[in-house]
Amino acid sequence: MNNNENMLSMFPRKLRKYWLVWWTSAKLSLSSNMATRGASGLFILGKLFRFGAFVYFLFVLGGGVNEVSGYNLSALIIFFLVFNLFDLFGQLFFRGIYRFRQQVVSGEFDFRLVKPISPLFQALTRHTDFLDIPLLLMVIVALVGNIDLVPAGSWWIFGLVSLAGFILITAIHVVVASLGVITTEVDHSIMIYRDLAMMARFPVDIYTDAIRGLLTFVIPIAIIFTYPAKAFLGLLTWENGLVAFGVSLLFLYISLKLWRYALTQYSSASS
């Protein structure tokens, strides 16, 4: 028994099985990236350019105006970094959703249903996007470099709303997968989520009350991206943190219910 297996033996059998499935598919994703190095390089360069250009734009903004909706340049950069942290999390681990539609419309999803692994887990994690890792590392390093901005009493709030953010991202991807089964329209649903998420590159305070309400309670983009950034800056109360965590659990519950319903609607077309 090697070290990896020794370590895994400590976990319950089911968890080990899922870990091994993810690990194997992640290795295959990495092999696929390595096989097309030129293409992977262009994707990474594009992502880095987009990130760098936006940070430069923030600096230009900071040079021309003192604040945007009460936030100075440093705060705006933190909002953008935290936005990237959570956005990249979804793209890195749940990239499989972008290829889910093809499985549904071709009937290939049938093969996922008969395997002894959750079809939802397969739909979401079938592909791990390692091309996001360079940018993710840069973002983490930049946030760690600014860690002194977090007030001592805000650490647990930041941790709590970050957890809420990760849960909500997972829930939204579950909803997208469900809509994919029901309507076969995954591509646009996930891109609409991405576009809505882009609205959180800046604090949601810049929007009107109606849009802010929509982005907080209907499609909780604000809780995913803006709340952790506010907690990082010590601007979020513990009450808001608890509400965010409660909302995330509620969303996850609803999304899983929707997924179960979606499976009953799967028509196995084209198979």
Q: Which position among 7, 28, 45, 269 is part of the footprint of other proteins (CB under 8 A)?
A: 45
Distance CA 173, CA 171 (A): 5
Candidate ranges 121-129, 151-159, 198-206, 223-231; the one touching other proteins (CB under 8 A): 198-206
Of the candidates 162, 156, 176, which has an alpha carbon nearest to the alpha carbon of residue 244? 162
If you ran DSSP here, which 8-state letter would residue 214 be given?
I
**By CB under 8 A, residue 254 contacts other proteins:** no
Candidate ranges 57-65, 95-103, 106-114, 226-234; the one touching other proteins (CB under 8 A): 57-65
CB 174 within 8 A of CB 251: no
Q: Which position among 206, 249, 250, 269 is part of the footprint of other proteins (CB under 8 A)?
A: 206
**By CB under 8 A, residue 57 contacts other proteins:** yes
Minimum CB separation of residue 111 from other proteins in Å reads 24
Distance CA 135, CA 44 (A): 8
Minimum CB separation of residue 75 from other proteins in Å reads 13
Distance CA 179, CA 188 (A): 10
C-alpha distances out from residue 174 to 61, 66, 187, Å:
37, 40, 14
Minimum CB separation of residue 63 from other proteins in Å reads 8
Distance CA 153, CA 14 (A): 37
C-alpha distances out from residue 28 to 40, 94, 129, 130, 185, Å:
14, 15, 11, 11, 26
CB within 8 Å of 34: residues ≥ 6 apart: 40
Q: Which position among 19, 43, 121, 166 is part of the footprint of other proteins (CB under 8 A)?
A: 43
Q: Where are the alpha helices (DSSP H) in 65-185?
A: 73-93, 100-106, 109-113, 119-125, 133-145, 155-183
Q: Which position among 1, 12, 14, 64 is part of the footprint of other proteins (CB under 8 A)?
A: 64
In the shown chain, the binding pattern of residues 1 to 40 toward other proteins, with x for contact by CB under 8 A and - for none, equals -----------------------------------x-xxx
**By CB under 8 A, residue 188 contacts other proteins:** yes
**By CB under 8 A, residue 121 contacts other proteins:** no
Size of the site for other proteins (CB under 8 A): 38
Minimum CB separation of residue 17 from other proteins in Å reads 32
**Size (the chain), residues:** 271
Q: Cα 158 to chain center, whole Å? A: 17
Distance CA 205, CA 217 (A): 14
Q: Which position among 29, 33, 47, 168 is part of the footprint of other proteins (CB under 8 A)?
A: 47
Q: Which position among 15, 20, 137, 211 is part of the footprint of other proteins (CB under 8 A)?
A: 211
Residues that bind other proteins (CB under 8 A): 36, 38-40, 42-43, 45-47, 49-50, 53-54, 57, 60-61, 64-69, 183, 185, 188-189, 191-192, 195-196, 198-199, 201-202, 206-208, 211
